[in-house]
Every structure is written in C-alpha cells, then in structure tokens.
Amino acid sequence: MTLAVVIAYLGLVLVIGVLSHRLAAVTGEDYFVASRTIGPFVLLMTLFGTHMTAFALLGASAESYRVGIGVFSLMASSSALMVPLVFFFVGTRVWSIGKRLSLLTQVQFVRERWGSDALGLALFVVLVLLLVPYLLIGVMGGGITLAEVTDGQVPTWVGGLLVSVVVVAYVSYGGLRGTSWVNTFQTSLFMVLGAVTVTVIVSRLGGLEAAFARLREAEPAMLVRGERISPIQLLSYTLIPLSVGMFPHIFVHWLSARSAAAFRAPVALYPLCIAVVWVPSVLLGIFGHLDFPELQGPEANSVLVRMIALHAPGILGGLLGAGVFAAIMSSLDSQSLSIGNMFTQDVVRHYRRRAGRPELSESQTVWVGRLFVFAVVALTFGLSLVVNRRIFGLAVWSFTGFSALLPILLAGLFWRRSTAVGAAASLVTVVVTWIWFFVRAWGRPDYSVGGTGLDPVAVVFGASVLAMLVGSLASRPPDEAAIERFMPR
Amino acid sequence: MKRLLVYLLMGALYLLHNDLWAWNDSRMVLGLPVGLTYHVLFCFAVVGVMWLALRWAWPRDVDPAEVEQR
C-alpha cells in the first residue's frame, strides 16, 4: 500500500509537469527561466522547495538524532536570517541586471561583468563540481526513503532510479515553468505533511510533554546544545546559508521572477517556511532515540523514515514518504535544470558563437538543454550507487564552497573597483582552501579549524574576501563603461 | 533614517542569534526546550524585521520604474 501511494504521487507530479508544458513557448528563455513570468507565491514556494532538499528532512533529522535540538539554531534559524537577507540585497539586484542584460546564468554574469572568458569557464567548472555532491544527496535520499518505507522490500537503488526518471521526465518536458509548478505543489505537500507527520508520531508517543519527559530520562543531552555544539561553531555556521546566493539553481529562479516586487513574499515569509519544515524534522530526529536508540553512523540518515514506518504505516506512511520524495525532487529538478542551462548557454552556445558557427535555433537550444539534464541526472544516479557518505556531511561541504564563492558575486554587484584579477584570485583561493580543509577533515565528521569549533567555512570565506580585495587593488582599475552596464550611477 | 534603523535591526538579529545564555538550559518553555523555543521565536522576529525592510529599505537601484510607481 505504501509503495502504491508513493507511485501514485509520482504519477501526479508527472501530470502537473506535463500540464505546465501547455503554457510553454518553445524558446530557450522560456525553457530555462520561464520567460521571466513567475509571480510572488510561486517564487516563494519554488525558491523554498529548491533550497530545502533531502538535507532539510533526512539530513536535519539525522543530525538532530546525533546532536540534539542545537541543529535548529545551527542550520535552521541561521538560514531564516541569512537567506532572506541574500534575497533582499542580492537576489533583487541579480534579477534587475539579468532582465536588463538578458542574462541566463551566473557564468554569463561573471563573463560580462569583468570581460573574462577564462574566469567564466573556471567558475563553470567549480560550480558544476560543487553541485554534484548536492545532487547526490537527492538521489541517495530517494533510495533510502523508498527502501525504508517499504521495509526493505524495494532496494535502495530502485528509489534513486525512480526519483531520477521522474525528475528527468518533467524537467525535460516542462523546463523551469514545469519545475516551478511542480515545486509549488511539492513544497506545499511536504510542508503540510511535515506538520501531519510530527502530529501523528508525537501523538503515538503519548503527546509532546510525555515524549520530552521520556527523552529527558533516556537522552537528556538532546535537550541542550551542551558540548556537542560550541558557540564559535554556531557563529561561524551563519556563513553556511550564504551559499544560497551562489547556488546555480537558486540563481535561475531569481531570474524567472516577473518583477522585483515578486521578491517581497520570499523575503518576508521565508523564515516562517523554515520553521514549519525544520521544527518537525528536529523533533522527529531527537524523538528517534525513544524508538531507535542504537543507530550508528550512516544508519541515522534514515531515522525519520524509520519513525514514519513504525508509527504511521499504510496509506499515511505512503503519504509521508511522498512528502520526503517531494522535498527531494523539488531540489533535484532545479539543480539538474540549472546545470543543463549552464552547459547549454555557457559551453555549447558560447563556444559555437566564438567559433563563428551559426546560432542554435530556439528549438535546438531546448533540446540541448534536455540532453544535458538527462546526462547530469544519469551521471548522478551512477555515482549514487558507489558513494556512501553521511548525507549531511556531503551537503555541508558543498555549501561551504558555494558560500565562499559569494564574495565574487557581491563584488560584481556592489564594488566598482573589483577586477577580473580579483575575482580570479578569489576563485583560486576558494578552490585551494576548500581542498585543503576537505582533505584534512576526511573521515572526521566533527572536524573544526584547529579543534577550536570554528567551521572551515569561516576561513575559506575570509580568504575569498581577502583575495578579492588584494587581487582587485593590485590590478589595473576596470573599464568604466563596462561597470556602467552593471552598476549605472 | 528608517533605512538605517532597518540595517541596525538586521545587525542586532545577527548578534541575537548567538544565544549563549540558554546553552545548557533544558527548561521547557511553550512546550519545547528553551533553546529550541528561542530560535523558533527568532524566526518570527526575522519576519518582522524583513517586513520593515520591505517598507523602509527597498533597494533604490532595483527596477526604478517600480519605485516611482509606488
């Protein structure tokens, strides 16, 4: 029954994606940024759904199982503050410039802002490499979910394959418009079902008060931050949500807005959406100790789904499993589309133009995009079969890289004196410091800089800012005319 | 002046996020451990400040036509 409900849900998602295609025009701009027509409500829901992935449900509940309630302050409330700030200060300006200059990707932004082809190509490579682990989170999360809600009857790889096939189908068919529609449906679903899940399970545990009383007896450390999170870690972690400013999949959704006013809903209501999704995830993670006290390592990734399977089997279990699928697919779709967009615009079209070959027709552009979406998802699925790391760990490393790239975009938007040399220095610094910390932290999930609690993102981000400043000031001032296109006085 | 106030409030929120005073406090407030309740309420405080930001500090360089209409 559970499997039937999940499959019915996936069918419904496909129908919505297909219906959206009826409104689509066969142009590259419609396929990749929905002809810049998305209104406030859909923009809020699709931005939120895209940002919240398996990480927010499976990863957050798993990390809460390990660390306790502090996960909410570490990742959720810090996102509730930093993400709206990024939308407010950065997203609105990106939209404005993107509309004025007909930009479709971050790489185009960087190429045109500083007039450097090599810088654009380097950024393209880094963005794709950082996005792959993030994509993996979704596919692996789909596999874990389906295996757990069916009590192991469906192998993990089948869930990953199912998620991949459905996403490829509706993204290929509906483009960003279809993705936004489906995301709005899926985001509404996982927000509602998150609340339903926690209500049902807490009720089965005897109510909130009783559940907390039992937890206080069994694992009192779950109720405080204590030694598991340090104050310096909390402070440095506030840089992680800045990654939202450099995610290619968020960038394309910004560009899809109908007007600057469409950003008002995401800016004001995002923190509420965060609370609605993260409170249930954190509660179910810590209450997992009451039913599954001995989960070790990667086993904890499935604590949420185990709780669902134990307390809400049958149709409700299937619906709740569908809610997890919704969260996963609402990110995977935008991520794969954004990579397809970058390959199409920044590689195929850009280098055809440079080679003097004729422009692709609108129809050809769309088909090239579809091909890349398929290739990216297929590659991710293949990798998901051989990779086995904690979901949350994968996400944080990906976020660290994206956060540390934000100074490049900030300089492009706000600093007239910034130069291509500064941006290149920042990019190289991010790559080098990121690899340095990644290697040092390999196999050490609780790694911090010098054992101080400081998250590596603080150092990588700081080094990125410094490199931008030094590189720009040490190089020749940029051409005033080029700056005027992006920052008119 | 209102714009400056909004920016100051944003800075204050950043500082208030670091609630060191409730670090090891496991008391229950509004049905949740205080460390969790505080941060849920913090989310609501952000909504309030961002609402003020939309009214008083909307970026001047974004879509000037829209600003004129308002």
How many A-B residue pairs are in contact by the CB < 8 A criterion? 111
pLDDT digits (tens, 9 = 90+) for A262-277: 999 999 999 999 999 9
Does residue A2 surpass a pLDDT of 80?
Answer: no
Range of weakest confidence among A185-199, A216-230, A457-471: A185-199
Contact at CB, A73 and B54, closer than 8 angstroms:
no
Instruction: Over range A411-416, report the average pLDDT.
Output: 95
- Cα gap A199→A207, rounded to integer Å: 9
Does residue A226 surpass a pLDDT of 70?
Answer: yes
Among the residues of A303-417, which ranges form H helices? 303-311, 314-342, 350-354, 362-384, 391-414
- Cα gap A237→A448, rounded to integer Å: 11
Which three-class secondary structure state does DSSP give residue A257? strand
The burial class, CB within 10 Å (0-12 / 13-18 / 19+), for A408 is buried
Does residue A255 surpass a pLDDT of 80?
Answer: yes
* pLDDT score, position A26: 67
C-alpha to C-alpha distances, B54 to A260, A331, A445, nearest whole angstrom: 11, 27, 40
Compute the residue count for chain B: 70
Does residue B68 surpass a pLDDT of 50?
Answer: no
- Cα gap A103→A121, rounded to integer Å: 16
Among the residues of chain B, which ranges form H helices? 2-16, 34-56, 64-69
Instruction: Over range A296-306, report the average pLDDT.
Output: 80
Does residue B30 surpass a pLDDT of 50?
Answer: yes
pLDDT digits (tens, 9 = 90+) for A160-189: 898 899 888 888 888 888 888 888 988 888
B10 touches chain A (CB under 8 A): yes
From the CA of A443, how many Å to the nearest CA of chain B? 28
- Closest CA in chain B for residue A270: B47
Q: Report the amino acid identity of residue A14.
A: L
Does residue A192 surpass a pLDDT of 90?
Answer: no
Other Cβ atoms less than 10 A from the Cβ of A1: the count is 12
pLDDT mean across residues, chain B: 89
Residue for token digits 């985001």? A187
- Cα gap A109→A115, rounded to integer Å: 10
Does residue A105 surpass a pLDDT of 90?
Answer: yes
Does residue A58 surpass a pLDDT of 90?
Answer: no
Nearest Cα to Cα of residue A324 among A145, A61, A163: A145
Helix (H) or strand (E) holding A464: helix A456-473
Contact at CB, B24 and A226, closer than 8 angstroms:
yes
Instruction: Over range B17-21, report the average pLDDT.
Output: 91
Give me the sign of the Cα torsion angle A201, A207, A299, A402: positive
pLDDT mean across residues, chain A: 88
The secondary structure of residue A418, as a DSSP letter, is -
Does residue B56 surpass a pLDDT of 90?
Answer: yes
- Cα gap A185→A45, rounded to integer Å: 8
Tokens found for residue A60: 């957050």
Nearest Cα to Cα of residue A80 among A278, A283, A280: A278
Which three-class secondary structure state does DSSP give residue B33? strand
Contact at CB, A81 and B36, closer than 8 angstroms:
no
pTM of the predicted model as reported, rounded to 2 decimal places? 0.92
Q: Quick one: what percent of chain B has pLDDT higher than 70?
A: 89
Does residue A392 surpass a pLDDT of 80?
Answer: no
Does residue B67 surpass a pLDDT of 50?
Answer: no
* pLDDT score, position A123: 95
C-alpha to C-alpha distances, A301 to A288, A304, A308, A349, A464, nearest whole angstrom: 11, 8, 13, 41, 32
Other Cβ atoms less than 10 A from the Cβ of A363: the count is 12
* pLDDT score, position A72: 95
Residues 6 or more apart in contact with residue A452 via CB below 8 angstroms:
A230, A232
Give backbone dihedrals phi and psi of B28, rounded to 5 degrees, phi first.
-95, 130
* pLDDT score, position B69: 46
Does residue A82 surpass a pLDDT of 90?
Answer: yes
pLDDT digits (tens, 9 = 90+) for A3-29: 788 888 888 888 887 777 776 666 778
B31 touches chain A (CB under 8 A): yes
- Closest CA in chain A for residue B69: A261
Does residue A32 surpass a pLDDT of 90?
Answer: no
* pLDDT score, position A35: 83
The secondary structure of residue A348, as a DSSP letter, is I
A261 touches chain B (CB under 8 A): yes
Give ipTM to 2 decimals. 0.93
B64 touches chain A (CB under 8 A): no
Range of weakest confidence among A67-76, A120-129, A137-146, A179-188: A137-146
B43 touches chain A (CB under 8 A): yes
- Cα gap B43→B32, rounded to integer Å: 15
Contact at CB, A93 and B61, closer than 8 angstroms:
yes
Does residue B70 surpass a pLDDT of 50?
Answer: no
Does residue A30 surpass a pLDDT of 50?
Answer: yes
Does residue A116 surpass a pLDDT of 80?
Answer: yes
Higher pLDDT, A322 or A410: A410
For helices A248-255 and A314-342, give the axis angle rounded to 10 degrees. 80
Contact at CB, A225 and B39, closer than 8 angstroms:
no
Instruction: Over range B48-66, report the average pLDDT.
Output: 85
* pLDDT score, position B66: 53
Contact at CB, A282 and B40, closer than 8 angstroms:
no
A459 touches chain B (CB under 8 A): no
Higher pLDDT, A313 or A287: A287
A275: which chain B residues are within 8 Å (Cβ-Cβ)? 40, 43-44
Contact yes or no for A272/B43 (Cβ under 8 A): yes
Contact yes or no for A415/A471 (Cβ under 8 A): no
Residues 6 or more apart in contact with residue A200 via CB below 8 angstroms:
A311, A312, A316
Chain A interface, best mutation among B43, B54, B60, B61, by max A CB count within 10 A:
B43
A364 touches chain B (CB under 8 A): no
Residue A210 banded pLDDT, cuts 50, 70, 90: very high
Contact at CB, B62 and A261, closer than 8 angstroms:
no
From the CA of B35, how many Å to the nearest CA of chain A? 7
Give me the residue from A73, A208, A268 closest to B35, CB to CB.
A73
Higher pLDDT, A9 or A432: A432
Instruction: Over range A379-405, report the average pLDDT.
Output: 80
Residue A386 banded pLDDT, cuts 50, 70, 90: confident
Tokens found for residue A278: 């993260």
* pLDDT score, position A37: 87
Give me the residue from A235, A238, A268 closest to B47, CB to CB.
A268
Instruction: Over range A146-173, report the average pLDDT.
Output: 84
